[in-house]
Amino acid sequence: MPRHRLPLFAALLAAGLLAGCNTTKEDPTAKWTPDRIYTEAKEELNGGGYDKAVPLFEKLEGRAAGTPLAQQAQIDKAYAQYKAGDKAQAIATLDRFIKLHPASPALDYALYLKGLVNFNENLGLFSWLSRQDLSERDQKAAKDSFEAFNELVNRFPDSRYAADSRQRMTYIVNSLAQYEVHVARYYYSRGAYVAAIARAQTAITEYEGVPAIKEALEILVNSYDKLGMNQLRDDAKRVLESTYPATAETTAQRRKSAPWWKFW
């Protein structure tokens, strides 16, 4: 390179470096105290700014590491992720909290929130529009939700979240039983009577005493009848009639009325 071009090259290089420095984003929280970060994060959370609250809580976790405030930030971050619709990240945050802080006074809330995230994930945002109940969708989230609520009520029976957890557990058990009946009904409608019997029996043996059992027994009676298994049909019919005295409304009619599963 000719010597007379060196100053020009150096000037251009310096300008480029300065421009690069100017594009570097400054951290507005760099000089904030942990308390101020927490206050700002809570304001965003309470105002519905969940996407803005999450990174603030993450910064607080680092700045206040090893303190109760960092634990609180982690819990609040999980809630913000849940409300923002990032349920997978919310569960991951809660699992990390539960693992790292087994003696935390907020452990019952962490379990409750984990159950709630899975409960609402399974319930679905628009199920009330389609009248599709929880029993007609995949049941993994329901089972995960039940496990979290169950751990809460067993470990913290006097927790402020225990009563609601028990109610949701009842709903989930009803849902799981109804799911088996839903599948049994599907098989029966297509003439797969052996498969219908298997799913109806699963509901009866695993979820005793729930509302879905009546229809499970009805499916058993009808399926055995279709297969010409008269003795088993009559046995199932006796159990049905002794457990559920005859009423004017059939199971099919009940399904068309207000659904049993609308608790919330």
Residue ranges per structural domain of the chain: 31-100, 172-256
Q: Which of 168, 179, 169, 85 is nearest to 134 (CA)?
A: 179
69 vs 60: CA distance, rounded Å: 8
95 vs 229: CA distance, rounded Å: 50
What does the pLDDT look like over 40-53, one tens digit per residue?
Answer: 999 999 999 999 99
pLDDT score for 80:
97
Q: What would you report as the CA-atom Rg of the chain, rounded to the nearest whole angstrom?
A: 29
192 vs 171: CA distance, rounded Å: 29
> Which range among 19-23, 27-31, 59-63, 77-81 shows the weakest confidence by mean pLDDT?
19-23
What does the pLDDT look like over 91-117, one tens digit per residue?
Answer: 999 999 999 999 999 999 999 999 999
The two tokens of residue 131 are 């009248």
pLDDT at 257 over 70: no
What does DSSP assign to residue 26?
P
Confidence of residue 18 (pLDDT cuts 50, 70, 90): low
pLDDT score for 2:
52
Q: How many CB atoms lie within 10 A of CB 71?
A: 20
pLDDT score for 10:
54
Which residue did the predictor score with more confidence, 62 or 255?
A: 62
Confidence of residue 263 (pLDDT cuts 50, 70, 90): very low
CATH of domain 172-256: 1.25.40.10
Confidence of residue 84 (pLDDT cuts 50, 70, 90): very high
pLDDT score for 26:
81
17 vs 23: CA distance, rounded Å: 10
pLDDT at 13 over 70: no
Confidence of residue 15 (pLDDT cuts 50, 70, 90): low
pLDDT score for 27:
80
Q: How confident is the prediction for the chain on average, in pLDDT?
A: 84
66 vs 108: CA distance, rounded Å: 20
Confidence of residue 89 (pLDDT cuts 50, 70, 90): very high
Mean pLDDT of 3-17: 53
- Per the confidence metrics, is the pTM higher than 0.75? no
Q: Which of 153, 160, 225 is nearest to 193 (CA)?
A: 225
> Which range among 101-115, 133-147, 175-189 shows the weakest confidence by mean pLDDT?
133-147
End-to-end CA distance of the chain, in Å? 77
